[in-house]
Amino acid sequence: MDKKKYAYLIIAHNEFEVLQKLISALDDSRNDIYVHIDKKVKTLPELVACQSNLFVLKKRIDVRWGHVSQIESEYVLFEAAYYSAESYSRYILISGTHIPLKSQDTIHRFFDENSGREILRLIDWNRGNANFKLNFRHYFLRSSQDANPLIRRTGHFLWRVVCGIQKKLTLGNSKIYTITKANNWVALSDAAVKFLLDKKKEVLTKFRRSFCGDEYVVPYVFENSGGRFEAMMCENLLFDDFGTGSRPRVLTMDDYDFLVASDYLFARKFSRQHEDVIDKILETITK
C-alpha cells in the first residue's frame, strides 16, 4: 500500500513555548506540519522542525472565539495542506496547546488501522442548545471578543439583546440541521478534506452568523454527504477537562499519571507555566 504522509494542522495564538514543544513531538519524516497563527499576533515566533516540513502560513485570520472566523482559520489550514505539492492520507487538526500522549509510531498505527474512517470526538448535544447556536443570528460576536474593554462589553451586551429579541419572537429557523456535535479537533482523510473544501462557500454562508459553529461543521457536512463518509466517534482522540466552564483547564503534573496510563492520543490544554508535565510526557513517549 502506498503510504502517504500525514499533515498536522495547528491553530495557535499564544503559548508559543508549548507550540515549539508540540512541533518537536510531531517532528517526524512521515509528517508535515502547518501552523496558523492568529492575525492579532504582531511578532511571529521562530519555530523549528528538523525532519518534518514546517509551514507557518502567511495567510492569517483574526480569530475570535465563537465566531465564524474559527471556521475560516480551519479552512485556511485545510486549503494550504490539500493544495500543496504533497499528498496526505490523514489531516489532523489540533491546537497549539495540544501535546501527544503516544509516540508517532502508535498514532500512525491507529490512524492507518482506521484508514477508511473519519475520526471525530462526540460532544454532549441537545436540540435547544444546537438551535440557539446554529439557527439564531449571532451579531456582535467579533466585537464581544475585542481587546478594548469598552468595545468588548458593548458588543457582549448587544449580542445578548439581539439574541433575547429573537428568542421572544421565536425567530430561530432551521437553516442548519444536524443531529451530531463533535469536537472541532478532527482527523480526516484526503477525500473528506476535498469534500469539505468543495462545500466551503455553502458552509461559510450558512455558518456566518452561528455561535461556536466549528463544533457542528464537520458533522453537518458529513450528514449531508449522501453517506459517502464513515465517521468513527473516537473518545480517545483527545482528553480535555472543561469541568463546569466553557474553556478547558490547564493540565499539570497532578494529571501526569492519568494521562500516560490512558488510551488518549492527545491532551489539551497545556501551558508554559506547567512545562514540567509537558517535558515528562514527551520524555515518556519517546522512550
User: What's the confidence (pLDDT) of residue 1?
Assistant: 40
Compute the average pLDDT of residues 150-164: 93
Does residue 173 surpass a pLDDT of 60?
no
Encode pLDDT of 112-141 as tens digits: 999 889 999 988 888 888 888 888 889 998
Q: How far apart are CA 106 and CA 150, in angstroms?
A: 49
Encode pLDDT of 248-277 as tens digits: 899 999 999 999 999 999 999 999 999 999
The structure's pTM equals: 0.92
Rounded to 5°, angle at Cα 177 from 171 and 181: 115
Q: How far apart are CA 102 and CA 263, in angstroms?
A: 9
Q: What is the overall mean pLDDT for the chain?
A: 91
Encode pLDDT of 7-30 as tens digits: 999 999 999 999 999 999 999 999
Q: How far apart are CA 67 and CA 59, in angstroms?
A: 18
Q: Is the peptide bond before 269 cis (omega within 30 degrees of 0)?
A: yes
User: What's the confidence (pLDDT) of residue 176?
Assistant: 76
Q: Which CATH architecture has domain 5-125+181-285?
A: Alpha-Beta Complex (3.90)
Q: Which residue has the higher pLDDT, 118 or 170?
A: 118
Encode pLDDT of 28-80 as tens digits: 999 999 999 999 999 999 999 999 999 999 999 999 989 999 999 999 999 99
Helices (H), the chain: 16-26, 69-82, 104-113, 127-135, 149-168, 190-198, 200-206, 217-223, 256-261, 275-285
Q: Enumerate the CATH 3.90.550.10 domain ranges in the chain, comma separated.
A: 5-125+181-285
Q: Which amino acid is at 231?
A: A
Pairing of strands 5-12, 31-37: parallel
Q: Which three cell numbers stand for residue 168?
A: 421572544
Q: How far apart are CA 19 and CA 32, in angstroms?
A: 15
DSSP per-residue string spanning 32-89: EEEEEE-TT-SS------SSSEEEE-SS-----TTSTHHHHHHHHHHHHHHTSSS-EE
pLDDT band at 161 (very low <50, low <70, confident <90, very high): very high
DSSP per-residue string spanning 23-36: HHHH--TTEEEEEE
User: What's the confidence (pLDDT) of residue 181?
Assistant: 84
